[in-house]
Each structure stands twice: as C-alpha cells, then as structure tokens.
C-alpha cells in the first residue's frame, strides 16, 4: 500500500509542478499588468475615469495575487510530494505524510472550486492524497528494541 501511494504521489507531484507554471506566469502578468494600469491611470485627466481605472487595476492585481498564491502552493506541493513519496517507501515521518496527503486534497479542492471543473488530473490527485493518508495510517508498528 505504501509503495502504491508513493508512486501515485510521485506522479501527482510532477503534475503539481506542471500545473504551477501557468498559475505563476499568469499571476505574475496580472500583478504586473495591474500595476502598469494603475500607473497609466495617473495620466488620466477625468477623475471618474481615473477612479474606474484604478479600481479595475486593483481587482486585476488581487486576482493575480490569488493565482500566484495557488502557483506557489502547487510548487511547494511538488517538493513535499517527492519527499512524501520517499518517507512512505521508508515508512518514516507518519505525521509528515498525513500532512502532505491532506494538503494535496486541499489544493485540488480549492482549484476545483475556483474553476468549477473536475478533470482527470484532479481525480488522480484526490486518489493520491487519499492513498497517502491511508498508507500513513497503516504504518507498521515499531518493534521494541531487545536489551541484553
């Protein structure tokens, strides 16, 4: 069970890496574009249009910040997923594996909620998170050390 969970979390970790790149890129463009739009609004003479442009720029920056946060979390989940797969194979760090499993399910639930779409990669990530949790809960019990 631990090996299967480790293989699944390795695959999902690579998918998290690939998914983080568009979030980071689009989020960076939105934050930068919002800042540029806000600077551009300074040249506007009409106060009403200026306020409208600044309000839109702040909304664009806020949306870009959310995308950046999701991208950074997915990037972190890449590293944590690889580490989780290793500790699952070694049957160590039970709490760490549980945390990564919950985090994997959480980030996929958030992205599914935001986009209103559940794809095959989301289903794979949910399954991997569940398998990691189950595998971590079924670690073999430590044997007491025999003293001579």
Question: Residue range 18-43: average pLDDT?
Answer: 89
SS (H, E, C) 21-84: HHHHHHHHHHHHHHHHHHHHHCCCCCHHHHHHHHHHHHHHHHHHHHHHHHHHHHHHHHHHHHHH
Which of the four pLDDT bands, split at 50, 70 and 90, describes residue 143?
Answer: low
Q: How confident is the model at residue 106, as a pLDDT? A: 93
SS (H, E, C) 71-85: HHHHHHHHHHHHHHH
Nearest one of 53, 28, 59, 60 to 38, comparing CA atoms: 53
């Amino acid at each position: 069970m631990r090996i299967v969970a480790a293989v699944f979390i390795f695959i999902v970790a690579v998918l998290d890496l690939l998914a983080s790149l568009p979030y980071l890129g689009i989020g960076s463009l939105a934050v930068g574009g919002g800042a540029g739009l806000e600077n551009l609004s300074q040249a506007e003479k009409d106060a009403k249009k200026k306020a409208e442009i600044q309000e839109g720029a702040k909304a664009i920056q806020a949306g870009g910040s959310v995308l950046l946060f999701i991208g950074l979390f997915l990037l972190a989940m890449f590293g944590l997923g690889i580490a989780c797969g290793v500790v699952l194979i070694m049957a160590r760090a039970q709490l760490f594996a549980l945390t990564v499993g919950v985090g994997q399910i959480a980030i996929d639930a958030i992205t599914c909620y935001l986009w209103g779409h559940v794809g095959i990669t989301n289903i794979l990530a949910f399954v991997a998170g569940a398998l990691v949790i189950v595998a971590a809960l079924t670690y073999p019990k430590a044997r007491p050390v025999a003293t001579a």
